[in-house]
Structure 1
C-alpha cells in the first residue's frame, strides 16, 4: 500500500508538472526509481525527503532533476554525497543535517548559486576548501561534527551572514574570517577555543557572537563590547595545557593570546621591533591602491586573487617570506584605539566583564575583555567607554 501511494504521488507530480514534491516520512531506503525514469521531473524545483533511511544519492540526480532549487535530505543515513552533486547548477538550498556524512566532496564548490548549506550533526572531520567558492552563501551550519579547523578560504564567502559551528573540536577561529563583513551571527559554543582573533567584532555588521562552554577561553576582544555575546561556561578554573601561547596577566587571571601574536609590548616600551615597523610602512604604502578597489565586482575579484597575484600586483619588487606576505594581506589585528594595523606585536589591556546584552545570563568574573593596541600611547588612552 505504501509503495502504491508513493507511485501515485510521483505520477501525479509528473502529470501535473508539480514544482514541489513532499516525500517526508516515507521510510525510503533507496532513492525512488520513479523520479529517475525517462526524463525525470524536469519541472521540479523543491524536493523534500527528510526522515527517511536513504544511504546514498543517485549519480544522475542533476540529469533527471535539473531545475532543483531546494533539496532537503535531513535525518537520513547518507554516508556519501556523489561528485555529481556539483551539477545541480540552480541549487540554492541544501540540507544534509542529521546524516552520517564523513566527507564532503570538493564539487560542492560548483554550486555557485547556493545560499543555504546545512551539514549539522554528521561525522565531518574537515570541510573542503572549495566551500570558499560559494560566493552567494548566506547560511552555513556545521555544528555537531568533528571539525578541528575551519578552512581559511571561507573568507571568500562574502555574502555569509550566519556561521554556526557549535560542538566541534575547534581550537582556533581563523583571523582571515574577520574579513567577512556581511557576517551578522557567529556561534562557536562547545569547542576548545583558548583565544579569539584580535579583530573579531570590528565589523559593525557582526552583532551576535556565542562562544559558550569554551572552558579555556578567558578573554574576549573588546570589539565585542556592547554586542550580544554568550560566554556562559567560559573561563572555568582549568589548566591551559598549551604553554606555548603568549599570555597577559592581570594579577588574578592569565589570558592566552592568539598563537599568531609574536610579541607583547610593555607599558614602558616605546620602540617597536624593526620587522613591525617595516610591515606597517609597507602596508601604508600599498593601502591606497587597495582602497581604489571599491566596486562589488572588483572586490570579489580581488578576494579571489591567489597570494602570488597579490604579491605581483600590490607589493614592491622585494622578496618577503610567505608568512609575512600573508600577514601583509591580513594583519593580526587593528589597534582598538586608532585602527593602526598590527603584524607581529600587540599591547594588550584587560577589562573585567561588565554589563553586556547577556550579562544577566553569565555574571562571571573569570572572563574579561581584552583590548589590543599598537603602542603604549594608545594603550594608555584606550578605555571601553571611549
Structure 2
C-alpha cells in the first residue's frame, strides 16, 4: 500500500497533475512524499477524504502553494494549524466530519476562500476573523456545539448560504439581516426563542429553515411566504424540492413608503429643529403631541435615535460627511444597525416597537402545514398609526 501511494504521488509530480485523489487510503499521517523536495507545485486540488489524519503539516502551504481546493472530509483532525492561513489561493476547504475543537484565527487570511465546510465537529465557537472572508459564499457549521455566531459574520458580504443546523444557538445576531447576498439560512434544531425583527427584509433572502426550535413561538412578518421550515410544522422535506421552492415567494418591500407618523409641515420645520455646528437635526412632529389624549408618544430616546438616524444617513448620502456623534457604544451600534424596520413604512426602530400577531391559520401556509401548529407571524410597527393600518394578509 505504501509503495502504491508513493508511486501515485511520484506520477502526479512527474506529470504535473492538478488533481490528486488520496481518498480511502487509511492514512494516519500526511504522506511525506507530498512534502518531499519542492512538493507538488502544480497541484490545485487535493482529495484526502475518509482517512485517519489527526493533523496537517506546518509546511503545507510551502509545499503545495497553488492549492485551490482541499478536501479533508471524515478524518480525525482536532486542530487546524496556523499555517493554513498561508494557502492564499485556497477557494474551497472541507473539514466536515472531523474532531475539530478549534479553528485558528489565521483562517481569516484565506481571502480567496469561497466555500468553508466545518459540519459535524466539536466546535464551541468560531473566531471573529471569519468576518475577514470577503469572498465566502458558503458556510456550513451544522452539528457542532456553537452557543453563538461571531458578531463579525455580517462582514462576509458575499455569503449566500449559511447552515447552522443542530447547534446550541439561543439567538441570532441582528447584524445578519444586513448580509446583502444571503439567499438561504438554515438554523434547524437549535434553542432559538426569537428571531431578529428584520430577518427576511432583504430581497435576496428567500429560504429560511427553523425546524425543531421548540421555544420559537413567532416568526418575523418579513418571512411571510418565505418560510420553508418552521418549529413543529409538517416538514417540507417530504415535498419535492422543486415544489418546495415554488411555495417560497419574494416579499416586495419596495412598495413600502419611507417615513412615519404625523407629517412635518414646511411651516413648522423651524420649530422642530436644533443645530450644533454643522449638524442640524429635525425633530419628529410627534413631539408636538406630548400631553394630548389622542396620540401615544414614543419615549424621547426612541424619537431622538430615529432623528439622528435620518440626519446621519442624509449627511453620508448627500455630502459624504459624517459629523461626530457622541453616544454610548450600545446606542452608537444601534445607530448603525437598528433593532428593526417598521413593516408598514420602513421607519427604523431602535428601542421601542409595536408588535401585532398574525396566527398561521390565517396565512396561505396554513393549508400547506395542515394546521398542526400554533406558531404565527409577528409584524413590528413603529407607531400606533402604522399598527392600525397594517394588515399582513392584504
TM range (shorter): 0.7 to 0.9
Distance 1:75 1:181 in 2: 33
Match of 2:300 among 246, 271, 274: 274
Equivalent residue, structure 1, for 2:66: 67
Equivalent residue, structure 2, for 1:331: 338
Give 1 or 2 for the bigger CA radius of gyration. Answer: 2
Equivalent residue, structure 2, for 1:237: none
2:353 alignment partner, SS class = strand
Distance 2:339 2:318 in 1: 23
Distance 2:373 2:143 in 1: 29
1:344 aligns with 2:355: no
Gaps of 5+ in 1: 235-267, 295-312
Distance 1:168 1:156 in 2: 22
Deviation larger for 124-133 or 280-289 = 280-289
TM-score (norm: length of structure 2): 0.82
Distance 1:232 1:89 in 2: 41
List per-residue Cα deviations over 1:198-254 (Å, max 9, x = no partner): 0000001000000000000000001001114200427xxxxxxxxxxxxxxxxxxxx
Cα shift at 1:331: 0.2
Match of 1:380 among 350, 364, 388: 388
Alignment of 1:177-216 (within 5 A): 177-216=176-215
Q: Check the 8 A contact 2:216/2:231 in 1, yes or no.
A: no
1:7 alignment partner, SS class = helix
With over 3 angstroms needed to count, the CA separation of the structure-2 counterparts of 1:374 and 1:149, relative to structure 1, is same
List per-residue Cα deviations over 1:308-357 (Å, max 9, x = no partner): xxxxx63x444211000000000000000000000000000000114456
Gaps of 5+ in 2: 234-293
Distance 1:175 1:327 in 2: 10
With over 3 angstroms needed to count, the CA separation of the structure-2 counterparts of 1:344 and 1:210, relative to structure 1, is same
Equivalent residue, structure 1, for 2:312: 286
Cα shift at 1:362: 6.4
Cα shift at 1:286: 1.2
Distance 2:376 2:204 in 1: 23
TM-score (norm: length of structure 1): 0.84
Cα shift at 1:152: 1.2
List per-residue Cα deviations over 1:247-269 (Å, max 9, x = no partner): xxxxxxxxxxxxxxxxxxxxx86
Distance 1:82 1:362 in 2: 50
